[in-house]
Amino acid sequence: MSVATIGDQQVDVDQEGFLTDPSQWNEALGAVLASNIGIELTEAHWAAIRFARGDHATTGETPTLRRMQSVGGVSTKEMFTLFPKKPAKKMAYVAGLPKPVGCV
């Protein structure tokens, strides 16, 4: 684990840049993380992020694409539109959550 400065915050990250302490996240940091990977956040992004963070707080795990669809109401197609190419991984990164189980 190492410390990185993202925006104006120092946060703990793993070797891939994922936050290791979700409590260090806030929406301003999420906007910077999204910008770092070329995503401009809309209300649809925020809805997915807020669901994922709430679900993580409840279950202790980052939601998978399947869970985002079945419980969060965000279709897989919409996730690919919001977070192109690797939606679960990118959404978790922006939301300050660990990489989802099964993501390579």
pLDDT per position as a tens digit, 52-98: 999 999 999 999 999 999 999 999 999 999 999 999 999 999 999 99
- CB crowding 9-20: b at 16 or more within 10 Å, else e: eebebeeeebbe
Mean pLDDT of 46-50: 97
Q: List the structure tokens of 79.
A: 């996730």
Q: Which residues are catalytic?
A: 103
- State yes or no: pLDDT of 103 exceeds 60: no
pLDDT per position as a tens digit, 15-31: 999 999 999 999 999 99
- State yes or no: pLDDT of 104 exceeds 60: no
Domain residue ranges in the chain = 2-95
| pLDDT for res 102 | 67
DSSP string, 65-84: HHHHHHTT---HHHHHHHS-
| pLDDT for res 39 | 97
pTM above 0.85, yes or no: yes
pLDDT band at 101 (very low <50, low <70, confident <90, very high): confident
Interatomic CA distance for residues 6 and 57, integer angstroms: 23
